[in-house]
């Protein structure tokens, strides 16, 4: 088993929700393999003060040219409170990037008013009302080569 070291490359906090007891928190931690310096996992965590929200995650392999069809996209419904989601960074993602976002509203395909909505066509819904957004890179740390 290879040794791993936790490197917090990104700790992110995003805006206050009016009338909420606590603010929205969005954190991204990258776990780096100590032998190679390459990321091995992405841990997304935080706090959602709303009754519901959606966590959108997009992962992009190195060299990808079309972010919509070239990325890996997923959504997770979040209830009020703390959340944590872990993603394994596989070989294809090394050198690539990620985007994570918290969204306040889910719009089903039947309620969508956009002329053409790629997300509704692919998933049956899209999300709106951005609450927090962050991005980062799956790069190798210097000194591990």
What is residue 101's predicted lDDT score, i.e. its pLDDT?
Answer: 96
Domain 4-137 = CATH 2.60.40: yes
Share of the chain above pLDDT 90, in %: 68
CA 51/CA 141 separation, integer angstroms: 39
Distances (CA, A) of 145 to 33, 34, 61: 12, 11, 21
What is residue 60's predicted lDDT score, i.e. its pLDDT?
Answer: 95
Most confident of 2-6, 15-19, 63-67, 104-108: 104-108
Domain residue extents for the chain:
4-137
What is residue 69's predicted lDDT score, i.e. its pLDDT?
Answer: 80
* 28 burial type by CB count under 10 A (0-12 exposed, 13-18 middle, 19+ buried): buried
What is residue 145's predicted lDDT score, i.e. its pLDDT?
Answer: 55
The average pLDDT across 124-132 equals: 94
The residue whose two tokens read 């998933």 is 123
The average pLDDT across 14-31 equals: 72
């Amino acid at each position: 088993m290879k040794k791993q070291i936790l490197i917090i490359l990104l700790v992110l906090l995003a805006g206050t929700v009016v009338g909420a007891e606590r603010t929205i928190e969005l954190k991204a931690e990258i776990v780096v393999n100590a032998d190679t310096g390459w990321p091995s996992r992405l841990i997304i965590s935080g706090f959602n003060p709303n009754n519901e929200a959606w966590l959108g995650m997009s992962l992009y392999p190195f060299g990808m040219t079309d972010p919509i069809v070239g990325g890996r996209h997923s959504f997770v419904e979040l209830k009020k409170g703390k959340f944590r989601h872990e993603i394994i960074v596989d070989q294809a993602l090394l050198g690539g990037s990620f985007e994570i976002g918290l969204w306040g509203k889910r719009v089903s395909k039947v309620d969508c008013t956009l002329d053409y909505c790629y997300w509704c066509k692919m998933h049956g819904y899209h999300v709106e009302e951005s609450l927090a957004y962050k991005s980062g890179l799956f790069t190798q740390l210097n000194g591990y080569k």
